[in-house]
């Protein structure tokens, strides 16, 4: 289990969290704020349209006179939104020490119409996976999932890199991944080898793999190369993990970049199913974000355990 050490952070430590309107992201904000860091809570909706839970969190922070929670709108799929956010951060705060890339969608798999029409629950949907009935790999859903989970995360990360503040404890990037992102789930050995080979990996190579996947989704052929369960979501996290390793290598000793699976958490993404509460899932991310200085980079954590990609 990755350890916790002496507190190296303070209110001067600035953490940016994406997708904090609900679920795990909101809890990450709460926990980082409780630990005394300054939290830049972001969500794709404007403040007045946030969930009740997010509004309440912000209201409580305001009522208790807390100045360490600041909200800003950020949609990671929109280039202009990312640029506006980074400009705002540069002007108001000037830097960031931690980036938690939490925002994601999973609309690539479950056919929500089928689910609604047949009034089926999540476990039934999972059972239906084997028959591919009620499960959708439709191109547009797949494309938008990759656009958010991989390209959107990369877009924000790249835009924010110049604002990551050098320090003795190093800036940290936590890419919120999934156990569905494990390389072993990729059924094509050659593709697995290519993504595994971090030294020769490039962003273009990852893009090529994603393009191949989308072509297969479109043609409805060749899907036997890709993960069986939740193929699009799985590929989105698998490519995010490849990006984690690539970025860790590129940033070398300038920042720690790690992938983290929060656990199976009861959020909207899982239709409320899961083993952990959102707070427990968030704690698994916060632990890695706040690892003592000198911690790992380019690693993959599954609920706190340092594991193979
Ligand atoms: N729950 C689990 O068991 C589990 C397991 C493994 C990994 N994860 C990962 O944990 C992270 C959080 O998931 P969750 O379970 O908390 O899911 P969730 O409840 O569905 O929350 C996802 C959040 O991401 C936001 N989001 C989606 N697209 C966005 C965009 N383009 N820009 C900004 N924000 C965007 C959503 O915004 P709106 O509220 O506006 O829709 C929502 O607030 C995700 O990366 C997920 O893949 C979850």
- Quote the domain boundaries for residue 177: 14-105+148-185+232-307
Nearest ligand 1 atom to the CA of 78 is: 31
* CA 160 – ligand 1 centroid, Å: 20
Q: What averages of pLDDT result for each successive group of 10 residues across the chain (309 residues)?
A: 74 97 98 96 97 97 89 98 98 98 79 65 58 58 93 98 95 97 96 93 96 92 90 95 97 96 94 93 98 96 94
* CA 268 – ligand 1 centroid, Å: 8
Question: According to the 3-state scheme, what is the secondary structure of 59-78?
Answer: HHHHHCCCCCEEEEECCCCC
Tokens of 303: 């609920």
140 within some domain: no
77 lines ligand 1 (CB under 6 A): yes
* CA 190 – ligand 1 centroid, Å: 31
- Within 10 Å of residue 144's Cβ, how many Cβ atoms? 16
27 lines ligand 1 (CB under 6 A): no
Helix (H, G, I), strand (E, B) or coil at 14: strand
125 within some domain: no
206 within some domain: no
124 within some domain: no
Cα dihedral sign for 300, 237, 126, 266?
positive
Name the domain count of the chain.
1
- Within 10 Å of residue 300's Cβ, how many Cβ atoms? 23
> Atom 2 (ligand 1): residue with closest C-alpha?
265
Cα separation, 302 vs 300, in Å, equals: 7
> Atom 25 (ligand 1): residue with closest C-alpha?
19
CATH number, domain of 60, equals: 3.40.50.720
239 lines ligand 1 (CB under 6 A): no
Candidates 21, 88, 29, 30; CA nearest to 54 is 21
- Within 10 Å of residue 60's Cβ, how many Cβ atoms? 13
> Atom 7 (ligand 1): residue with closest C-alpha?
178
Nearest ligand 1 atom to the CA of 276 is: 3
pLDDT at 49: 97
Candidates 32, 80, 15; CA nearest to 282 is 32
291 within some domain: yes
Q: Tell me if residue 243 is catalytic.
A: no
44 lines ligand 1 (CB under 6 A): yes
pLDDT at 114: 63
69 within some domain: yes
pLDDT at 281: 98
* CA 84 – ligand 1 centroid, Å: 21
Strand order in the sheet with 256-261: 69-73, 38-43, 14-17, 98-101, 172-176, 256-261, 299-302, 305-307
281 within some domain: yes
| Neighbouring-strand partners of residue 116 | none
241 lines ligand 1 (CB under 6 A): no
> Atom 17 (ligand 1): residue with closest C-alpha?
269
261 within some domain: yes
Among 139, 180, 233, 264, the active-site one is 233
Angle of helix 231-251 versus helix 189-196 axis, rounded to 10 = 30
* CA 76 – ligand 1 centroid, Å: 12
């Amino acid at each position: 289990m990755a350890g916790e050490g002496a507190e190296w952070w303070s209110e001067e430590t600035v953490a940016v969290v994406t997708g904090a309107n609900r679920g795990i992201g909101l809890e990450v904000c709460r926990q980082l704020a409780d630990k005394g860091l300054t939290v830049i809570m972001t969500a794709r909706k404007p403040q007045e349209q946030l969930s009740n839970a997010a509004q309440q969190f912000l209201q409580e922070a305001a009522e208790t006179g807390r100045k360490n929670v600041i909200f800003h709108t950020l949609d990671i799929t929109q280039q202009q939104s990312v640029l506006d956010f980074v400009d705002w951060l540069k002007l108001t705060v000037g830097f960031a020490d931690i980036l938690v890339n939490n925002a994601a969608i999973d609309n690539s798999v479950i056919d929500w119409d089928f689910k609604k029409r047949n009034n089926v629950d999540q476990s039934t949907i999972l059972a239906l996976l084997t028959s591919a009935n009620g499960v959708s790999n439709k191109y547009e859903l797949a494309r938008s999932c990759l656009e958010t989970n991989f390209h959107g995360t990369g877009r924000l990360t790249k835009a924010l890199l110049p604002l990551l503040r050098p320090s003795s404890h190093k800036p940290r990037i936590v890419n919120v991944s999934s156990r569905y992102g494990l390389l072993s789930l990729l059924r094509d050995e050659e593709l697995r080898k290519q993504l595994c080979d971090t030294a020769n990996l490039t962003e273009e190579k990852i893009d090529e793999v994603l393009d191949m996947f989308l072509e297969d989704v479109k043609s409805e052929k060749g899907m036997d190369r890709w993960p069986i369960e939740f193929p699009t979501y799985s590929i989105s996290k698998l490519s995010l993990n490849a990006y984690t390793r690539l970025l860790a290598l590129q940033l070398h000793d300038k920042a720690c970049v790690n992938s983290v699976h929060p656990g199976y958490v009861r959020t909207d993404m899982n239709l409320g199913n899961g083993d952990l509460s959102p707070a427990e899932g968030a704690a698994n991310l916060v632990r890695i974000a706040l690892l003592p200085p000198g911690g790992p980079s380019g690693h993959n954590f599954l609920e706190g355990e340092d594991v193979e990609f």
